[in-house]
Amino acid sequence: MRAIAQDDMKESPIRKRDGVYEYRCPTCRTWWPIDDDHWRPGNGFRRCKACWNGYHKLWERERAKDPEIREVVNFKGRIRHALNREKRNAANREWKARNPEYIAAYNAAYKARKKAEAMSAVSADGVASVCQSEQNVGSIGAVGVGCSPPPRSDAPSRRCTMTTRP
């Protein structure tokens, strides 16, 4: 985004179209209606709101690269999260109480998606991964769906080991 001098625009930066006055942003060269939705009155007509938002986004991105600033921002976020935890949890409980049909639909879609993932674990030759854990004996599924992956050769054995069944 580069600022363009007014005399580089070769035309008046103000025009009237469909009964609405518009101003051409010197930065992005886009015509915007002169109102509070597209311009920030305190900043004048140097940039439209879209250009200011882009400018601030770039500025914050560069600022966030500094490890000291990032550490402070992360610390403040953790504090804010801890202070608002009960309030957020209460709001979530209230929302769930008001929307039980949405929760039921979401849970049904989740189960259907997981079932489809499990069935896609069946390979072309008809071999499926079968969970051998105590709670899921014989359930067909992909690794990570209802059981843990097979142990690595260098790791201690786990309760669940995936085997293949024809």
pLDDT, position 129: 53
Q: Where are the domains of the chain?
A: 11-63, 121-165
pLDDT tens digits, one per residue of 50-96: 999 999 998 888 888 888 988 998 999 999 999 999 999 999 999 99
pLDDT, position 148: 54
pLDDT, position 119: 81
**Mean pLDDT estimate for the chain:** 77
| DSSP string computed for 109-149 | HHHHHHHHHHHTTS-TTS-EEEE-SSTTTT-B--TTSSSPP
Give the global pTM.
Answer: 0.39
pLDDT tens digits, one per residue of 100-134: 999 999 999 999 999 888 887 764 445 555 555 55
Q: What percent of the chain has pLDDT over 90?
A: 35
Residues 6+ apart with CB under 8 A from 137: 131
Q: Which stretch of DSSP H or E encloses residue 76?
A: helix 67-83
Residue 14 has pLDDT above 70, yes or no: yes
pLDDT, position 166: 47
| Separation of alpha carbons 56 and 72, rounded Å | 19
pLDDT, position 46: 87
pLDDT, position 9: 52
Higher-pLDDT residue of 139, 43: 43
CB 64 within 8 A of CB 73: yes
Least confident residue range of 22-31, 51-60, 101-110, 155-164: 155-164
